[in-house]
Amino acid sequence: MKKAVVLLSGGLDSTTALYLAKEQGFEVYSISFNYGQRHNKELECAKNIAEKAGVKQHIVVNTNMDAWGGSALTDESIEVPEGDENRKDIPVTYVPARNMIFLAYAASYAEVVGAQDVFIGVSQVDYSGYVDCREEFIKAMENAINMGTVCAVEQGRKIKIHAPFMFMTKTQEIELGMKLGVDYSDTWTCYKGDELPCGECDSCLLRIKAFEEAGFQDPLQYKK
C-alpha cells in the first residue's frame, strides 16, 4: 500500500485532504503541530479526525514558534482582528514561514516511514496574503525536499507534494468533501479557541460563506 504523510491541522482544508488521500488509496501518516498557537481546539479535533479515519500513525510535533512571536496566532500581545472580507494587506494572523516549517517536518517524517507523497490543504484562491499557500512556493519547496533528503537524492524515491485544493474555492472544496463523506462537525476553523466558534473572524467568515454557497448546512453552531 502506498504511504502518504498528511499535514492535519484539524481544520476544514486538511481534513478534506486526509479523506482525499484515503480515497486515492494511500495509507495515511498524519502530522499535527503544537506550535504555541493560542488554543488547542484544532489539535484535539485533529487527533479525533485521525482516529476516526483510521490513519496508520498520528504524530504531534511540539515546538515553540511562539518564542519569537510575530503573529496574532502565536503572540498573546497581538489581538485577533475582526473579520474583513475585503482585506488586502497581510493579516496579523500570518505566521512567518509556517508552511515551510510544516513541510520540512513532513519531509523528515515521510523519509523515515518511507512515504513518497505529502498532502497539504492550501489554496491559492482564498490565500488571504499567506504567500506560503501559493503554487510557486509549494513547487519550490518540493524541489528543496528532493535536493535535501537521502531517499530522493541517493535512493531515487522522490517526494511529491499534493496540494489538491490549490485552485479550488472553499465552496468547491466543501462540495468535494461532502462527496468523500467528511464529517465537518469534527473540524475546527475559528482563530479563537472558545467553546463555540466566534463566527466573526476572517476564518469563520470564509467558512460560513463557503457552506452557504455550496448549499450545505455547516454542522457547527456559532456564537453569533
- Other beta carbons within 10 angstroms of residue 94's beta carbon come to 18
Q: Which one among 19, 109, 165, 191 touches its own copies, defined by CB under 8 A?
A: 109
148 interacts with its own copies by CB under 8 A: yes
Query: Taking CB under 8 A as the criterion, which residues in 158-217 touch its own copies?
Result: none
Please choose, out of 48-56, 101-109, 195-203, 215-223, the segment that lies near its own copies by the rule CB under 8 A. 101-109
- For residue 172, the surrounding DSSP H or E stretch is helix 170-180
DSSP H helices in 65-134: 98-113
Of 203, 174, 178, 206, nearest to 189 by C-alpha is 203
153 interacts with its own copies by CB under 8 A: yes
Is 16 annotated to bind a ligand? Reply is: yes
131 interacts with its own copies by CB under 8 A: yes
Q: Which one among 76, 87, 143, 180 touches its own copies, defined by CB under 8 A?
A: 143
Helices 135-148, 98-113: inter-axial angle, 10-degree rounding: 40
With beta carbons less than 8 A apart as the criterion, state whether 181 and 21 touch. no
Is 198 annotated to bind a ligand? Reply is: yes
Rounded CA separation 147/224 (Å): 48
Which residues lie near its own copies (CB under 8 A)? 59-65, 67-70, 90, 94-101, 103-105, 107-109, 111-113, 129, 131-132, 134, 136-137, 140-141, 143-145, 147-150, 153-154
